[in-house]
Amino acid sequence: GQQLNQSPQSMFIQEGEDVSMNCTSSSIFNTWLWYKQDPGEGPVLLIALYKAGELTSNGRLTAQFGITRKDSFLNISASIPSDVGIYFCAGRITISNFGNEKLTFGTGTRLTIIP
């Protein structure tokens, strides 16, 4: 199956810094989802995007659905210790009006905050 190119693979930042990560694909997606995963836990949904150009915020998090429908980015402002974890993007191509097409996941961005 295809995978999304997610970058960077890892980030080491100081508390209070802003963070930016992105995902790109060779395919067009109709939906972009951003998840956060803590060690040993399941991913938790952060933001869902459904329209090209859409910009959506959730607290200090902002995500955008790229105009070309082949990319998305996630920004975190003023990072805090609980932001540590792995962030995954996921995209879906809608093929039909019936049923749920599969999600394709990025390889993740591991965020570490340096004290």
Residues that bind other proteins (CB under 8 A): 1, 3-4, 6, 30-31, 33, 35, 40-45, 48, 50, 88, 90, 92, 94, 97-100, 102-103, 105-108
CB of residue 78 to other proteins, shortest distance in Å:
26
Tell me whether residue 27 is exposed, middle or buried, using C-beta atoms within 10 angstroms of its C-beta: 0 to 12, 13 to 18, 19 or more: exposed
Residue 52, SS3 per DSSP: coil
Q: What does the alpha-carbon distance between residue 81 and residue 67 come to, in Å, rounded to a whole number?
A: 32
Closer CB to other proteins, 51 or 80, in the complex: 51
CB of residue 31 to other proteins, shortest distance in Å:
5
CB of residue 89 to other proteins, shortest distance in Å:
9
The amino acid present at 112, given as its one-letter code, is T
